[in-house]
Structure 1
C-alpha cells in the first residue's frame, strides 16, 4: 500500500544494520554543512525498520545498489546508483544519499512510491521499479 507524504505518512522503509550505522554517522557529520538534508536523512533513519546485523532484504534500496525508478509526474524512468557523498558523480549516475532524491530512495522496496520535495521546492513522486544489489563486499561495513 502506498502512503502519501502529503498526508504526513511516509511508506515503510527497511535498512541493513550496517547502512543504518554508517548513515547515522553521516547525518550527524553533515548537520553543520547541509543541515536540511542531514535532518531529512535523520528522519528517515528514525522511522526505518533496521534488520539484524548481517541480514539484508531483497528488492530494497540500500547503499551501493543500482535503482531503477519512475518519475510519476513525467513517466521518465531513470537508473542510478545510490552512494555516499564522496562517491557521487551525476555524470556516471551515482547519486548521493544526501540529496533529496537519494534520501527519498533509501530503504524503499520495489513497487513502493514516495512523495519528495526537490531543492527548489517542487513536489515530485517516484516509484521504485527495480533494485540490483551491490556486490557483497560493498555492503560490508568499512
Structure 2
C-alpha cells in the first residue's frame, strides 16, 4: 500500500462545511495529546470549504471507502472518527497520520504521511466510494 517517498507539497483538498467544523473542533481538542491532530488542523486550514451538495463524489470524506495503491498492492480502507477506528477491519481514524492525509483528497491524487517511527510513506488514491447514509451521521 505504501512506500518511502520524497517530500511533496500536500494536495489541494475540499471538505463540506459540516466536516470542516467537526474536524477542526476534533483536532483542536486533541492537539495536546494526539500528534496527528496538528496535521489534521493544517489540512483544515488549507481546505476549500463547500456545501455538501457541491462536494464532488470522488472526494474523501468521513465514512468514505478508499482504495489505496502502493508498493504492497491495493488496500481498501474506510475513513472514520476515532471512536469507530478498527485497523484490523480497515477502519482508519482521521486522527492518524494516514487519516489526516486522506481527508478532502480526491481519486487520482497521491498522498504522503509520516509514520510514528519517522518514515515518510506515500500512496495513490485509486478510488473513492461515498459513505452510506448510516456512516454520514
Give the TM-score taking structure 1 as reference length: 0.86
Q: 1:41 to 1:63 in 2, by over 3 A?
A: same
Distance 1:94 1:138 in 2: 12
Q: How does 1:5-84 map to 2 (within 5 A)?
A: 6-7=7-8, 9-34=9-34, 36-52=35-51, 54-71=53-70, 74-84=71-81
Gaps of 5+ in 2: none
Gap change, CA 1:12 and 1:90, over 3 Å in 2: same
Alpha carbons 1:69, 1:78 under 8 Å: kept: yes
Structure 1: state its 5+ residue gaps: none
Q: Is the 8 A contact 1:18 1:139 kept in 2?
A: no
- Partners of 2:31 and 2:37 lie apart in 1 by 5
Aligned-residue Cα RMSD (Å) equals 1.8
Q: What is the CA–CA distance in structure 2 between the aligned matches of 1:136 and 1:51, rounded to whole Å?
A: 19
Does the 8 Å CA contact 2:39/2:101 hold for their aligned counterparts? no
Moved over 4 A (4+): none
Q: Select the residue among 92, 95, 106 that pairs with 1:95.
A: 92
How many equivalent residue pairs? 133
Structure-2-length-normalised TM-score: 0.88
